[in-house]
């Protein structure tokens, strides 16, 4: 009988310690309790910008979006809603409706730039033209973080009247980390590790903006 009581005591102690550890681990995650919408630009019949060697913007947007989701959930402890998870077309209005009914704290749209000039390259992040300070702060911090990774020309933290920025209710940004139409850049964008790093540096900018 005494042995049994001792065993129950030990098991209870171990269970308690596990609960305390799990609670502590959850509490130390910088974005715990926060919700994000990640919007991988284009998809389906809409490839977005296309590289000279055939890489499409829709493919790499989705990859970066998926890596960003993993960073936000696993490292940040956040909740994520994706506007698309595969190569299907979703209208801009359906993306906005999904975002506005999600109860998310922030909206992050992932794109890559295109130009008729193949030499053109650089990093830019946008917020809406009438965006509040939270959007602008998030934009500035993600831009600064991305530049450390891409080491490309700083095309600025800009304002633009993009549909998804104009119609989303929460603070929102749109990233254009580099130009897929630059052949050297296109080569880099084929490397999953490069895309993972892009996502990770977007994540770091987000944590700098609202991490606890
Ligand atoms: Zn795009």
Residue pLDDT, tens place only, 52-104 = 999 999 999 999 999 999 999 999 999 999 999 999 999 999 999 999 999 99
* C-alpha 24 to ligand 1 mean position (Å): 40
* C-alpha 207 to ligand 1 mean position (Å): 24
Is the Cβ–Cβ distance between 87 and 44 less than 8 Å? yes
Q: What whole-number distance in Å separates Cα of residue 172 and Cα of residue 57?
A: 20
Active site residue 185: no
Q: Active site residue: 57, 176, 185, 186, which one? A: 176
* C-alpha 179 to ligand 1 mean position (Å): 10
* C-alpha 40 to ligand 1 mean position (Å): 9
Q: Cα–Cα distances in Å, from 4 out to 7, 9, 181? A: 5, 9, 71
**151-208, pLDDT tens digit by residue?**
999 999 999 999 999 999 999 999 999 999 999 999 999 999 999 999 999 999 999 9
Give the predicted TM-score (pTM) of the model: 0.88
């Amino acid at each position: 009988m005494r042995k049994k009581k001792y065993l129950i005591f030990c098991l209870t102690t171990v269970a308690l310690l596990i609960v305390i550890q799990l609670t502590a681990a959850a509490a130390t995650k910088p974005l715990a309790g926060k919700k994000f919408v990640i919007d991988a630009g284009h998809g389906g019949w809409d490839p977005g910008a296309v590289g000279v060697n055939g890489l499409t913007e829709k493919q790499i947007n989705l990859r970066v979006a998926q890596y960003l989701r993993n960073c936000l959930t696993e490292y940040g402890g956040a909740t994520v809603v994706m506007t698309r998870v595969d190569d299907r077309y979703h209208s801009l209005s359906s993306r906005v409706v999904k975002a506005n009914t999600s109860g998310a704290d922030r909206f992050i749209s992932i794109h890559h730039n295109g130009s008729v000039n193949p030499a053109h390259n650089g990093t830019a992040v946008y917020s809406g033209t009438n965006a509040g300070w939270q959007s602008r702060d998030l934009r500035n911090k993600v831009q600064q973080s991305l530049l450390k990774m891409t080491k490309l020309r700083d095309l600025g933290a800009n304002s633009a009247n993009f549909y998804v920025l104009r119609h989303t209710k929460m603070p929102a940004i749109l990233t254009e980390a580099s130009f897929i139409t630059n052949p050297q850049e296109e080569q880099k964008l084929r490397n999953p590790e490069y895309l993972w790093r892009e996502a990770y540096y977007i994540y770091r900018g987000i944590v700098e903006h609202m991490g606890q």
